[in-house]
A and B are shown apart, each in its own frame.
Chain A
Amino acid sequence: MSSFSVTEPSKRSKWFAGTMVVIYALVTMVPLAWIMLTGFKSPADAISYPPKVVFEPTLEGYVNLFTTRTRQTPEFLAANPPETWYDEIVREYDMVIAGPSKFGERFLNSVIIGFGSTFLSIFLGTLAAYAFSRFKIPLADDLLFFILSTRMMPPIAVAIPIFLMYRQLGLSDTHLGMILLYTGVNISLAVWLLKGFIDEIPLEYEEAALIDGYTRFQAFYKVVLPQAATGIASTAIFCLIFAWNEYAFAVLLTSGTAQTAPPFIPTIIGVGGLDWPAVAAGATIFLLPVMIFTILLRKHLLRGITFGAVRK
């Protein structure tokens, strides 16, 4: 670019734009920052008025999130001195830790169902996307559009027959049931995105491999797959985030064994109403991985959220 360009914004307008954007970014971060702070507050600090920005940090919220506690008599407490730092925290309230809470379990469910459905979506999606990209498939466009339009159904509308179906098949509240369901929902996104990525790989590579005596299948996994690795990785993250965040199906179709974290976090109850620091701690632990993934994904973000309609 030359030293002077009519399209290059002036220094003053850059400075103005920068300031405005930074102000917006800071304001938009306030709710998130507040939740993360609340996770380190004591219950009293969390509901104090005026809201406290400076407070004495404590891990109480996190301890409460992961444990269940019972109140004990002073004699019992005196006879059993606290053994660990988390014991000490709950002793302040004359309580002892009775055992782990369900949060760990629910979080693990989120991990199992998230990764399980992501793996399945990517495995099936890559195969289908390759076929859609490279072969003539009758009604391919209609099929692709159909795959996409299934996303227009409100989740509750889909949940009615799935609920009945799963009840009959014994899949309600099972990991397998949720993995299959999320794969069914995610596969449209996976196929659509992956087709876009595979379309971008030049055909010449495969043709060369085929002429060298590779079979179609060998050409697929030795030539196309490595080339599509970035695309597959970012599609996988999108599928994972969807399954991770999903709430409507989870709340309707699971209640115990296979319940994921989103329906569980709002139900964390402390002594006398909602235990906000524990809820905030749960939200923080649950949201952090997604934030990290978002940062990793920032280059392909646009493509994922628009079903590949906009590519940068």
Chain B
Amino acid sequence: MSETPVTRAAAATPKRVARRIKGLSDRAIAWIFVAPTIFLLLAINIFPLIWTINLSFTNFKANRIGREVKNVGLRNYERILTDSDIWLNMQATAHFLFWTIFFQVLIGFTLAYLINKKFKGNDLWTTIIVLPMMLSPAVVGNFWKFLYQPQIGLFNYIVAFFTGKDPSSFEMLGSVQLAPWSIVIVDTWMWTPFVMLICLAGLRSIPDYIYEAAEVDRASKLRQFFTITIPMVLPFLMLAVLFRGIENFKMFDLVVQLTGGGPGSTTELTSINLKREAFEKWRTGYASAYAIILFVTVFGLASIYVKALNKVKER
């Protein structure tokens, strides 16, 4: 985000040129151009946010309109933070976040490193690899459910083929042990290309002369990798992790289609839990408090992380 065009425009237009400009003043145009967007954001983002904050202090239920709405103060927040079930959902989310990011970084970086070897046709293969991440997560979740079917599913068949197990002996989506991993696998399949693309941009941003200088200094390839490649790619990698972290914290569509939060509540991520509270149990006030807690959590974690990221960039 460079400031130059803005400041230059402001400096360049008003004095010398402004007198010769017909029509509306720059200031008027600026506001006419920005106003509709601001209005829309106020209507679709700010106003609802304020409403949610308000609701979070009440016992409002959206399916019972006539009922008297009472102000309950901080009781919703208190109940959420002391509820042990919600901590289980948080744990499920943490498991999902940690392992998806772990695998995506590992595989994504490796792929980017290999693609950066500039073999023939690398552009074509990169485009093919990227395809899964642009698809609709709900539809992807739906067709992976088909692949995960015990007995008839392709996934079970392939695993059985390589391990010699009976393909109907394990249920990826139905067992408490395997379900949390089944969602990790699909998310990794879908989003590894994202991490790969960003890492690739990082690798390509390293100028050749740094490696040439290292070669002159007779640094080994391994040493070059750890002292040049990794530190130079790190800010990119951290950015990828930030994006994946925020996205997967919000994760809803893919997992809802795959497991619906089950079996039991083993894959009930916070978003899915929130949906149950808000749109199945209709505890609107309670769910609003929950939503605010989630938002503050993501926002807080992201802000701390961005600070760390900026420190890495400055080095």
Contact = CB atoms under 8 A, between A and B. Distances in A.
Interface string B24-41: 101101111110111011
A15 to B, nearest CB: 7
Contact of A32 (B120, B132, B299): B132
Contacts of A203: 5, 8-9, 12
Contact of B136 (A128, A262, A309): A262
Given A160-B52, A160-B287, A38 B146 contact: yes
Contact of A187 (B31, B37, B51, B122): B37
Contacts of B109: none
Contacts of B47: 161, 165
B17 A213 contact: no
Given A156-B291, A165-B48, A211-B20, A262 B139 contact: yes
B21 A210 contact: yes
Interface in A283-312: 283, 286-287, 290-291, 293-295, 298, 301-302, 305-306, 309-310, 312
Nearest to B254: A247
Contact of B111 (A24, A305, A306): A24
A280 interface: yes
A181 B129 CA distance: 31
Contacts of A150: 41, 45
Contact of B295 (A21, A127, A154, A305): A154
A97 interface: no
A216 interface: yes
Contacts of B225: none
A231 to B, nearest CB: 14
Given A128-B37, A157-B291, A248 B134 contact: no
A174 interface: no
Instruction: Count chain A CB atoms within 10 A of each CB in B114, B122, B151, B208 and give the residue with the most.
Output: B114
B283 to A, nearest CB: 11
Interface residues of A, number: 111
Contacts of A216: 21, 23-24, 26, 29
Interface residues of B, number: 113
B87 interface: no
A82 interface: no
Interface in A209-254: 210-211, 213, 215-217, 241, 244-248, 251-252
B147 A215 contact: no
Interface in A191-210: 191, 199, 203, 207, 210
Interface string A88-106: 0000000000000000000
Contact of A133 (B5, B253, B274): B5
Interface string A111-137: 000000000000011011011111111
Contacts of A248: 252-253, 271, 275
Interface stretch (B77-85, B97-105, B196-204): B196-204
Contacts of B126: 298
A157 B275 CA distance: 8
17 contacts: A18-B122, A131-B33, A147-B41, A154-B291, A161-B52, A184-B43, A199-B2, A203-B5, A203-B12, A207-B17, A216-B24, A216-B29, A241-B134, A298-B126, A305-B243, A306-B198, A312-B204
The 10 closest A-B CB pairs, nearest first, are: A184-B44, A157-B291, A18-B119, A161-B48, A215-B23, A247-B138, A17-B117, A245-B136, A131-B33, A135-B30
Given A18-B117, A130-B33, A280-B146, 17 more contacts: A8-B118, A137-B34, A149-B299, A152-B299, A153-B295, A154-B250, A161-B51, A183-B44, A211-B17, A213-B22, A215-B23, A241-B134, A283-B139, A287-B135, A302-B201, A305-B194, A310-B239
